[in-house]
Structure 1
Amino acid sequence: MMDVRYKRDLNSNYMIMTDAEKREEIYEDRMITENRIYGFLPCVEQKKEKQTEYFYEITGRQSMELLYERRKVSYEQLVELLKDLLQILNASEEYLLNADHFVLLPEYLYLDTRTERLYVCYYPGYEKKIRESFLDLAEYLMGKLDKSDRKGIEFGYDLYQCALEPNFSLMEILKSHTEMENPEKNEETALPVVEAVEPVTGTQTLSSGKKSVQEEILEKTGSWKNFFHKKKKQPVETYVAEADQIKSGSVLFLREQGNTGETTFLREEKHYGLLLKSKNPDYPDLKMEGTSFLIGKRKESVDGWVPAPTVSRIHARIIKEEGCYLLEDLNSTNGTRAGQHQLNPYELFPLDNGMRVAFAGAEYEAYL
């Protein structure tokens, strides 16, 4: 298990990964610290008496896990993410870096908060086959797809199905979908020419002899892995409700009532347990609902909207654990303060009744 912590200094935020023991410098250390490689999180290495630490700068970036906590992924966003990843993999080949050291976990993948360009953590102490890492990432993204976006569902289906094949090539699947969209511009397709994962001998695509994507969706039960296993057909409502739960923290689910076959929608009771009273009349008060509450200025991505220019798009979060409210800074640009304490990124800090809280320059008072 990786030892990960976060730190804020005067101008920057860092994600720090630590090797359990000090080791001799290797080729990969020099490559990632002495070069600015496309799509790599900038890295600085510090060797201590008994261990090696890697400082990855994450200033102005947000983790994929947090960015998509309240959002769905569209077809266009999925394609752009994969194009970025392909360019990153190609860049790593130019520096002769082992792709098995990419950490493709959503909590360690970062996106620029303005452009949503992808940045990846390359950690020499991480060992997992790139194909396995990509398959896990593809499954995560499948669970985040907008189910009203037919093109996105179709592409996600094809991507995951092809990723299961031993000769999968990310370049080939991106190229095939681009060609289907723009058949007259095949020669102008702007895709890197170096294969990203493994040499390809063929790409499996949907054919007219197979069931449609919508028919396949109706057969899905359980996780996305089971999506590709033949199951007894279920109502489409079952698919939607199950898909909403996959790694998304959804509270909506279905329950069969006896033998009647009736479906009941259940939702956790909502109640206000915390009020953040704004000290500025231009900003609304924030009323926390449930056990997790995102705060920021990107209205569609958060629960508590703070329209202040100094506040980050996804700035902070409050979680409720065993009756205690914990404030967490989410790698914001201008920081979060509770009382007199300046939080480090992802540090959890307990809130007290009457405590002053500041998200950058937006000040509130907490009432529990």
Structure 2
Amino acid sequence: MEVEYKKDLRNNYMVIKGEDYEEERYSIKMMEYQSLQGLLALNHKCLDNRVLYYYDITAKQSMFHYFDKTVLSYERLKKIISRILSVIDEVYNYLLNEDNFILQPDYIYLDVTTDEPYLCYYPGYQKNIKEQMNGLIEFLMNKVDYHDKEAVLLVYQLYSVSREEHFTFEQLHNLLNKQIEEMVPDNVKGKREPASTRKYEKTEEEYFTQRNEKQEEKSETTVLQKNKVKRKGILQQANTIQSKRTINRIKAKSDIPVMLERIEDEVEINTYPPATYLYTVLCLTGGVMIVIAALTSGILYNQFGNRMDYTKVCALLLILICTEGYFLKKIWDKKNKQARITPRKSYINPREDQEDPSSLHRDEKDEPEEGDILPEQVDVHEQAGLRASVFLRNTTQSQQEESYDSNPTCFLNEEAINCISEDALSPCINENKEQKEFMLKPVDEINYSTISITDFPFFIGKLKKNVDYCLKNDVVSRYHAKITKEQDQFYITDLNSTNGTYVNQEILQSYQKKEIQLGDEVAFANIRYIFLYDLC
């Protein structure tokens, strides 16, 4: 399939060049005149006996790029798979062929605010939908957060079902519904006890509460003395609890079934060309033919011709061995090897790439178990004022940031492309990022800050929760661009942004990868930067 990306004044499109299939004209009209939820809006045009299918991808990101940085939690995985299955089931009511769906990550688009998936229906595609679903689940398996036990179990079960020879989508639906039912409490499902029993339990509870209050009033002095003794062992108990939790986490992780991740790449190997083997066969065949010719011509016999002269035989064999050895050495010289690129598949265990158990104390936060005594419980009143002030400050800051996450991108006119807004806000960078070597230095250093490129791929946009650098400006898209590194070369890719990404004043097409070098000018809409080496 030939795919390209185009923009007009208001919308972005993914354009697929196809053929005009008479049997698919009904589906094309159905897609154009019916707005089906969960499908990319389709419009087709005919040009030079070719059909161009225009799919509206405005304010959406392809699944392939969307999960470059983020990982799949249980809720997100369940939502995406459920919605995809629902869309496939729904199109059956409109007499559309389900094998015309493209379930490749490059052609599935997600709404960046709601994670709602949108599928691409390509008339005449005709690829088995079950095989495509298996490939999609295998892709999602490599994007799951392996710290989320429920997500790992769910994707493993989905993958196991999709690997069966004659599986159905109903089995996937039942598996997802089963997961949902297991999370619903029993009292919500309708399993309630009789009213008389509940009334009795409530009365009994009040009785014991009153009795306990009287006992506490009588033994208040004794309780205070016991609390003093307990406070002495707080630190020792906290250390013991933390060690126990670490052991429980390691055991819990070992119980999670893990599928080996398949990694496909290309490797360069040096091999001999086919001509080497051909020359070897010819060389050996020539030696055998020389021996046969010597025997038939009588050269190896004595002057009377009645018996073989072994001196001549040894001399001939010695000459042949030396000659054959010389030619074979030349043929199989290492200099004759040629480089060849071959695909390679490898499988790795995700647990081996995870952090060591000692990092669990820093990365994971568990709720304390019942009856535990933590050091933070000591002198709680002294910390109350500080915690209140921090909470108020964080609340105010989060309210300001949410306005940018939900704010749609504003369009630029032609005059604004070449100028820089005077009232532009300063960008903010995500925390917990280490500064490395490369950076984007702003042309307007008064209104914008330097972008330190910490790792690759490096995402830039105004949706702070999913990008590496938050550039707060209305002309910047939520997912605007990403910078990648391949060996010693750097590339920038426009992520279907509204106002475009520029390299040396040349606009990039959506999802077009462009090489950048030190000193190049990179612009996000009208905000210009210089790609430099950070000497700090």
TM-score (ref. length: structure 2): 0.52
| 2:77 alignment counterpart | 78
How much has 1:109 moved relative to structure 2?
0.6
Distance 1:36 1:213, change over 3 A: farther
User: Which amino acid in the other structure matches residue 239 of structure 1?
Assistant: P
| 1:229 alignment counterpart | none
| 1:55 alignment counterpart | 54
| 1:272 alignment counterpart | 437
Quick check: 142-151 or 23-32, which moved more?
Answer: 23-32
Distance 1:46 1:138, change over 3 A: same
How much has 1:58 moved relative to structure 2?
0.4
| 2:257 alignment counterpart | 217
* Separation in structure 2 between the aligned mates of residue 172 and residue 243 of structure 1, nearest angstrom: 32
| 2:196 alignment counterpart | none
Quick check: 291-300 or 99-108, which moved more?
Answer: 291-300
Distance 1:160 1:350, change over 3 A: closer
* Separation in structure 2 between the aligned mates of residue 14 and residue 184 of structure 1, nearest angstrom: 49
How much has 1:289 moved relative to structure 2?
5.0
3-state SS in 1 of match to 2:161: helix
Tell me, yes or no, if the aligned pair for 1:143 and 1:243 is still in contact at 8 Å: no
| Structure with higher RCO (Cα < 8 A, 6+ apart) | 1
What runs of 5+ residues in structure 1 fail to find an aligned partner? 188-211, 225-236, 245-269
Kindly report which structure 2 residues correspond to 1:233-312, keeping only aligned pairs within 5 A, or say none.
238-241=349-352, 272-277=437-442, 279-289=444-454, 292-312=457-477
Identity %: 33
User: Which amino acid in the other structure matches residue 80 of structure 1?
Assistant: K
Distance 1:82 1:320, change over 3 A: closer
Is 1:17 paired with 2:16?
A: yes
* Separation in structure 2 between the aligned mates of residue 317 and residue 70 of structure 1, nearest angstrom: 10
Kindly report which structure 2 residues correspond to 1:304-343, keeping only aligned pairs within 5 A, or say none.
304-320=469-485, 323-343=488-508
- Report the structure, 1 or 2, having the larger helix content: 2
| 1:267 alignment counterpart | none
* Separation in structure 1 between the aligned mates of residue 163 and residue 519 of structure 2, nearest angstrom: 54
Quick check: 125-134 or 289-298, which moved more?
Answer: 289-298
* Separation in structure 1 between the aligned mates of residue 109 and residue 352 of structure 2, nearest angstrom: 28
* Separation in structure 1 between the aligned mates of residue 517 and residue 254 of structure 2, nearest angstrom: 50
Tell me, yes or no, if the aligned pair for 2:101 and 2:129 is still in contact at 8 Å: yes
* Separation in structure 1 between the aligned mates of residue 98 and residue 484 of structure 2, nearest angstrom: 35
How much has 1:323 moved relative to structure 2?
4.9
* Separation in structure 2 between the aligned mates of residue 353 and residue 15 of structure 1, nearest angstrom: 31
Kindly report which structure 2 residues correspond to 1:132-171, keeping only aligned pairs within 5 A, or say none.
132-165=131-164, 166-168=166-168, 169=170, 170-171=172-173
3-state SS in 1 of match to 2:137: helix
* Separation in structure 1 between the aligned mates of residue 58 and residue 36 of structure 2, nearest angstrom: 17
User: Which amino acid in the other structure matches residue 306 of structure 1?
Assistant: L
| 1:250 alignment counterpart | none
How much has 1:348 moved relative to structure 2?
3.2
| 1:105 alignment counterpart | 104
How much has 1:284 moved relative to structure 2?
3.0
* Separation in structure 2 between the aligned mates of residue 90 and residue 317 of structure 1, nearest angstrom: 35
* Separation in structure 2 between the aligned mates of residue 238 and residue 100 of structure 1, nearest angstrom: 33
Decide which structure has the larger Cα Rg and report it. Answer: 2
3-state SS in 2 of match to 1:106: coil
| 1:114 alignment counterpart | 113
How much has 1:61 moved relative to structure 2?
0.4
| 1:362 alignment counterpart | 527
- Report the structure, 1 or 2, having the larger strand content: 1
| 1:127 alignment counterpart | 126
Is 1:176 paired with 2:175?
A: no
How much has 1:296 moved relative to structure 2?
1.6
Output one character per residue of 1:188-212: Cα deviation in whole Å (capped at 9) or x when no partner: xxxxxxxxxxxxxxxxxxxxxxxx9
* Separation in structure 2 between the aligned mates of residue 82 and residue 171 of structure 1, nearest angstrom: 9
Distance 1:185 1:41, change over 3 A: farther
How much has 1:4 moved relative to structure 2?
0.9
* Separation in structure 2 between the aligned mates of residue 26 and residue 243 of structure 1, nearest angstrom: 51
Q: How many residues align?
A: 304
Tell me, yes or no, if the aligned pair for 2:100 and 2:126 is still in contact at 8 Å: yes
How much has 1:43 moved relative to structure 2?
0.8
Q: Structure 1: which 4+ aligned runs deviate by more than 6 Å?
A: none
User: Which amino acid in the other structure matches residue 272 of structure 1?
Assistant: E
Tell me, yes or no, if the aligned pair for 1:22 and 1:48 is still in contact at 8 Å: no
User: Which amino acid in the other structure matches residue 12 of structure 2?
Assistant: N
User: Which amino acid in the other structure matches residue 106 of structure 1?
Assistant: P
3-state SS in 2 of match to 1:47: strand
How much has 1:299 moved relative to structure 2?
3.4
Distance 1:4 1:367, change over 3 A: same
| 1:206 alignment counterpart | none
- RMSD of aligned Cα (Å): 2.9
User: Which amino acid in the other structure matches residue 32 of structure 2?
Assistant: T
Distance 1:136 1:184, change over 3 A: farther
How much has 1:242 moved relative to structure 2?
5.6
User: Which amino acid in the other structure matches residue 31 of structure 1?
Assistant: M
How much has 1:276 moved relative to structure 2?
3.7
Tell me, yes or no, if the aligned pair for 2:505 and 2:523 is still in contact at 8 Å: no
How much has 1:320 moved relative to structure 2?
4.1
Distance 1:343 1:9, change over 3 A: farther
Distance 1:6 1:157, change over 3 A: same
How much has 1:65 moved relative to structure 2?
1.2
Tell me, yes or no, if the aligned pair for 2:99 and 2:126 is still in contact at 8 Å: yes
How much has 1:324 moved relative to structure 2?
4.7
What runs of 5+ residues in structure 2 fail to find an aligned partner? 191-251, 264-347, 356-434
